Structure 1
């Protein structure tokens, strides 16, 4: 099976953090979002992932090396495809046409999930959904009594279904999807000015592809700072009970309220940490209280009382406000 991950977006809502790090490389519970996504998809599919197509922007070699490592860890080979202009979800997938063949899963990179089902590779197609109260901002699906999808609706103004499409799709025949997307692009068929994946899915359905739904228990977004901090907290909750504190981390005179992730080489003293805190590697924290926060690498915090905060790499903060969002190399 091949996996395609569109991840060329600018991540503007998560600035200043995405000014220096692409959003899919922002850590959630100690690992980049895209790594969590790849590992979780590997857990729910019984088939080996052969190739991972990362649809990227202008990423440097260091980031590509990290993505290659993520692919290797699940036994896959990384392929890179550059999306120079964002023209919709279908256009992003079309950039990876080279590997859009055979059994294919498409997963957009700012989506994390918890699922209790196993993907059946013999199904024609599976659309992963989550039941939500207000689906008006999302694409949704309608199904018949057998659970087969009968309609795809993009951002309905009136209620038609509460099954929101979360951004993960499986296709038994990737070539069929490629053909439908190529048709949209060659004939300049757009919705809202963009080439929409839901239009290709509707065409496939009309030609006999039976799509079923795979309902997830949890759907975590990483759109802006507030939501990313919440998603970090939720994902730590999934991992509760695991040992999330690195062996090389040093904690002295500290109270740890689980779940808490602490990276390699980090030193913490005279502090209360948690619940729901992720701290990266080689940080130094003293005389502080931190909860519900995400802190990246090589950061120094002294005398802070933080909650609902997101702090980048190489940041220095002393005794400042409770809720902040600070990008890399900030002095406060």
Structure 2
């Protein structure tokens, strides 16, 4: 089986954090988003993963490309770098990895993590993973028939047809056929709002006999903006607590309290502080005289005399608050 990870987007909703780091490489509980995504995919499959194709922008740089290939190698697969020069939609992004569209193919967009216990049924023509949502009008959804097969894909329905939202995770048994259908969109300039969409390719496949099924994930975790990413970090910490080593042996915890679950990376120093719950401190972070909860602090950042919650601090940040001097009279209130 091959895995294709389209991840060429600029991550504008995550700025300023994506000005220097590609969004899929932002760490969640100690591992880049894209690494956690690929690990979760591999855990659902009994098929051997031969190749992982990462579709990136040409400006990502050689260091990012090297890191992605190392992620693939660590999972026993060959890493392949493909480029999307211009963002022209989901179908176009996948087609940029045309050489990997062969045999069994799993596709997942790299701004989504999920919690699931399913196993991929490789005998099915195609599977589209979904999540029940309260307001389906904001999503592409699938409509099922009586045999629990997908009979239609509906983009942002104004009237209710289904509450099963497409989360951007797909399996196809015949990668070559999918490639033909994606190329058909390009050749015939079939676009929606100026972009080539995978749902148009799947709809044509459906009309020509491909049987589509859906599996639901237990939880769909978005990494689209700061608040969503901090929440995803919280949930991953809860899910992985007790299943992964979340505190490095080299971390120094001095006169401090760590309220689990937290991730404490290599060479982190925590002194005279209370950290947690739901905090990730990446390698080299220093936390001094502070109180931090439900936050992410990236590598080599220093915080001192601060109180943080629902926060995301980037790499190599120095954030120091001066201790306050106060003189308050009796019965005073300062908010």
So what's the TM-score if we normalise by structure 1?
Answer: 0.95
| 3-state DSSP of counterpart to 1:122 | coil
Distance of 1:135 and 1:293 partners within structure 2: 30
What is aligned with 2:302?
Answer: 300
Give the alignment of 1:150-229 within 5 angstroms: 150-229=151-230
Matches within 5 A, 1:90-129: 90-129=91-130
d(CA) in 1 for partners of 2:257, 2:20 = 32
1:24 paired with 2:4, answer no
> What do the CA deviations read for 1:129-181 (whole angstroms, capped 9, x no partner)?
00110122211001112211010011212221100000000000001111111
Q: Distance in 1 between matches of 2:82 and 2:240?
A: 33
1:81 aligns with 2:89: no
Q: Which residue in 1 is equivalent to 2:326?
A: none
CA distance in 1, matches of 2:96, 2:62: 19
Question: Does the 8 A contact of 1:126 with 1:214 survive in 2?
Answer: yes
Q: Tell me, what secondary structure is at the counterpart of 2:229?
A: helix
**What whole-Å deviation, never above 9, does each CA across 1:273-308 have from its counterpart, x for those lacking one?**
101000100111111100010111000010110000
Report the Cα distance in structure 1 between the residues aligned to 2:242 and 2:97, rounded to whole angstroms. 39
The DSSP-based 3-state class of the residue aligned with 2:294 is strand
SS in 1 for 2:280: strand
Query: Are the counterparts in 2 of residues 149 and 210 from structure 1 also a CA contact under 8 Å?
Result: yes
Equivalent residues of 1:103, 1:170 under 8 A apart: yes
SS at match of 1:136: helix
SS in structure 2 opposite 1:169?
A: strand
Corresponding position of 2:33: 33
1:196-252: CA deviation from partner (whole Å, max 9, x where unpaired): 100100111111111111100010000111111111111111012344110110101
> What CA distance in whole angstroms lies between the structure 2 residues aligned with 1:50 and 1:241?
30
Gaps spanning 5+ residues in structure 2: where? 323-335
Whole-angstrom distance in 1 between the partners of 2:92 and 2:190:
11
- The 2-side partners of 1:241 and 1:184 are apart by 46
Cα RMSD of the aligned pairs, angstroms, is 0.9
Q: Deviation of residue 60 (structure 1)?
A: 1.0
CA distance in 2, matches of 1:282, 1:71: 25
**What is the match of residue 2 of structure 2?**
2
Q: Which entry has the higher C-alpha Rg, 1 or 2?
A: 2
Conserved 8 A contact 1:52-1:77: yes
Structure 1 residue aligned with 2:312: 310
**What is the aligned length?**
320
Counterpart Cα distance in 2 of 1:169 and 1:29 = 25
Q: Does residue 250 of the first structure (1) align with residue 252 of the second (2)?
A: yes
- Conserved in 2, the CA contact under 8 Å of 1:305 and 1:319? no
In structure 2, how many angstroms separate the alpha carbons of the residues matched to 1:145 and 1:44? Answer: 26
Taking the aligned partners of 2:146 and 2:296, their CA distance within structure 1 comes to 43
Residues 1:239 and 2:230 aligned together: no
